[in-house]
A and B are shown apart, each in its own frame.
Chain A
Amino acid sequence: MEHKSKYPVSHVVGFLFSLVLTFVAVFVALKMNVSYTIVMWIIGSLAVIQAGLQLFMFMHVTEGEDGKTNVINMAYAVFVAIVIVAGSIWVLTSGHAAH
């Protein structure tokens, strides 16, 4: 991101948004009187929103000479995320281990 001034506006905004999203998640999880499934969906969505926000505010996703590097990085991140999240859920919820 190009800055006219030296003051890192987008970083500060990104940081504040991240804090807000995190505290909303805490509030939803601890204070709101809704079912477990709904809480999971809300804080899951907030996490994805925050990840996207950080990509733009901190992770230079709009920078670079060509898009190639970013495509590789994204593919790598998606692969790692699927392995860790989907893999863990699959391993820990199937078969005898889950019961």
Chain B
Amino acid sequence: MGIKWNEILVGGDPLLVGSQIAIVLTVVAIVVGLTYFKKWGWLWREWLTTVDHKKIGIMYIVSGVLMFFRGGIDGLLMKAQTARPEMNFLDAQHYNEIFTTHGVIMILFMAMPLLIGLMNVVVPLQIGARDVAFPQLNALSFWLFFSGAMLFNISFVVGGSPDAGWTSYFPLAGKEFSPGIGNNYYAIALQIAGLGTLMTGINFIVTILKMRAPGMTLMKMPMFTWTTLITSIIIVAAFPIFTVALALMTFDRLYGTHFFTLSSGGSDMLWANLFWLWAHPEVYIVILPAFGIFSEVIATFSRKTLYGYKSMVISIVGIAFLSMIVWVHHFYTMDAGPAVNSFFSITTMLIAVPTGVKIFNWLFTMRKGRIQFTTAMLWALAFVPNFVIGGVTGVMLAMAAADYQYHNTLFLVAHFHYVLIPGVVFAVFAGLYYWWPKMFGFMLNEKLGKYHFWLFTIGFNVTFMPMFFLGLKGAVRRAYTYSAESGFAPLFLVSAIGSIILAIGFAVFCYNIYWSFRYAKRNVSHDPWDARTLEWMTASPVQFYNFAVVPEVKQLDAFWHMKKRGETLTLKESDIKKIHMPSNSGLPFYMAVVFGITGFFLVFEAHIAAAVAAIGIVVGLIVRSFDYDDGYYVSVDEIKQTERTWRNVEGGTENHVG
């Protein structure tokens, strides 16, 4: 097998040893804490076996915030290393590992779960459904994602991190040039997490197409639901490509095939081609739901209906279509010839058109609106100018001829951080501040939120703006150091200082969660923002069955118009019927465990052990096939009791309890 089992734990570096000790202490603390407070049963019943879309969403969000922390630490380490020329804080190998894990974690284990988490919490509520179409599959999605994320995260202390970049280009990522097991983690862990994402895509397509409240036609859906639908369709188109590419990579690395190798007829650029066939749509998978969040936030806090709804929908579909035919712009320098590069230049620049339409629609939504400067709205406002910087530099990069100059420089790195941070991270923060009361029944502190906003936004610009200029001066990406003579030092230092401000901003956010959890007012209204869509029609936090009576939708912004028409939330007792709900299941969690164990053995190329563990996966599938549990009914009495806690079941109602 060639694996030295006594050298599995990566040692030597004080940073790594410190992390190992911290991990062990944290695990011990969690186990002792759960036992001491007798919370094991609660954890199992309420969270590990839940199929409730809101709880699954919250678990996604918690994982995403934790991964944000991990990826952020990676980013800070890189910034510390490059703060001064010829620093010896990290060596080249460690730096390679850190930029690789930073990229993978921030895209796949931070951006994806935070957005999928918000989709899970919000979309069924926005369409007036009681859960997603396949609740147990949804739980399996989460647990597979979690299993993959954990497997990937242990790499830096067990066996060594992948070090070939988040793109893992061949031939570098092949066995020939990366003989260690680090890159096995990439192939296996992303495969497991990707399975979960694919299932999420299918689940949300079916949920949105089949489970909308009566009267909600496609063109009456809230914009976030629209973006989720289109995102899910791109997931279903793009993720299988990655599944296949990763499987071929696994064969190359573990079983000696030659799909991507230089020798024996392999094609290294085929990997780059397949990778970007997935990874470019992946960028739109994370940006489209974010656009949906901004649409909801801007409409709510401008007190206006979204401007140009139809053109918004056409733009999303256009972006989704174009997202599939721009992938070569990531490797113009492969030199595929003028016809190919010109085609992909044009399609790439075309994306600016629907995106521009969307930007103007948001601006026109705000025009003559009565704008409320809540924290959520601040993120949406800051998004517009910052994202435009990212978008315009993107059009610069889209020109194949010019790209030969920018390629592999920090200009590119600055560009995609200007797209992904305002586009995705700002959206996630906006969404979290906006929907927090719906999830937890209390609001995040607005004052701390504003500190968070200003520190993060200023820190972001100070970190990444200098990198545009560093890139234009010729500073390359993924280089662990530079000479004093290069003249890069001052801008790198500014960038490092910016990253500290950025980190303080994130720390304020974490403190805000803690502060609000302990001290925020609890009797928050079901509709604290005077919002427009159906999720605000039901209690905060939402009852497990979502809606006592499924609402009837007559137009866009259904809840807003109900309020305008003076329709109260009073519930007639005769309208309450028993509700059918899905049962909890421990199977998704079990599957995550066996997938994780199988994956771990595969990473270490222990093939027989992996095969034995894989029997566990098959057993899980068989058990599921014979599962005839059709769920249970919530009794009318229980519904009445639950509804009485937040509204009058017969008689008058209060629109604003808080």
Contact = CB atoms under 8 A, between A and B. Distances in A.
B273 A94 contact: no
Interface string B446-474: 00000000000000000000000000000
Contact of B325 (A76, A83, A94, A97): A83
A80 B339 contact: no
Contact of A84 (B269, B277, B337, B339): B277
A97 B273 CA distance: 12
A97 B270 contact: no
Contacts of A48: none
A96 B267 CA distance: 14
B337 A87 contact: no
B324 interface: yes
A97 B341 CA distance: 12
B274 A80 contact: no
A56 to B, nearest CB: 20
A96 B270 contact: no
A76 B233 CA distance: 10
Contacts of A80: 237, 324
Contacts of A84: 241, 277
B337 A97 contact: yes
Given A96-B335, A97-B334, A83 B324 contact: yes
Nearest to A69: B209
A88 B338 contact: no
A79 to B, nearest CB: 8
A9 B646 CA distance: 53
A97 B338 contact: no
Interface residues of A, number: 14
Interface string A66-99: 0000000000100110011001101110111100
B135 to A, nearest CB: 22
A45 to B, nearest CB: 20
Interface string B310-337: 0000000000000011011000001111
A97 B277 CA distance: 18
A88 B274 contact: yes
A92 B336 CA distance: 7
B340 A94 contact: yes
Contacts of A88: 270, 273-274, 277
Contact of B269 (A87, A90, A94, A97): A97
B267 to A, nearest CB: 7
B337 A95 contact: yes
A91 B340 contact: yes
A92 B324 contact: no
Nearest to B337: A95
Contact of B273 (A76, A79, A91): A91
Contact of B337 (A76, A79, A83, A94): A94
B51 to A, nearest CB: 25
Nearest to B267: A92
A91 B332 CA distance: 10
Contacts of B336: 91-92, 94-97
Contacts of B328: 91
Contacts of B327: 87
A59 to B, nearest CB: 13
B280 to A, nearest CB: 11
Contacts of B340: 90-91, 94-95
Nearest to B335: A96
A80 B267 CA distance: 22
Interface in A37-56: none
Contacts of A76: 233, 237
A89 to B, nearest CB: 10
Given A80-B237, A87-B325, A92 B338 contact: no
A94 B241 contact: no
A94 B241 CA distance: 22
A95 B341 CA distance: 10
A97 B237 contact: no
A56 B270 CA distance: 31
B337 A96 contact: yes
A15 to B, nearest CB: 14
B404 to A, nearest CB: 13
A88 to B, nearest CB: 5
A96 B338 CA distance: 10
Nearest 4 interchain pairs by C-beta: A95-B337, A96-B335, A95-B336, A94-B337
Interface of B: 233, 237, 241, 267, 269-270, 273-274, 277, 324-325, 327-328, 334-341
Given A87-B327, A88-B277, A94-B339, 6 more contacts: A76-B237, A79-B324, A80-B237, A83-B324, A84-B241, A92-B336
9 contacts: A76-B237, A79-B324, A83-B325, A87-B327, A88-B270, A90-B340, A91-B336, A95-B336, A96-B337
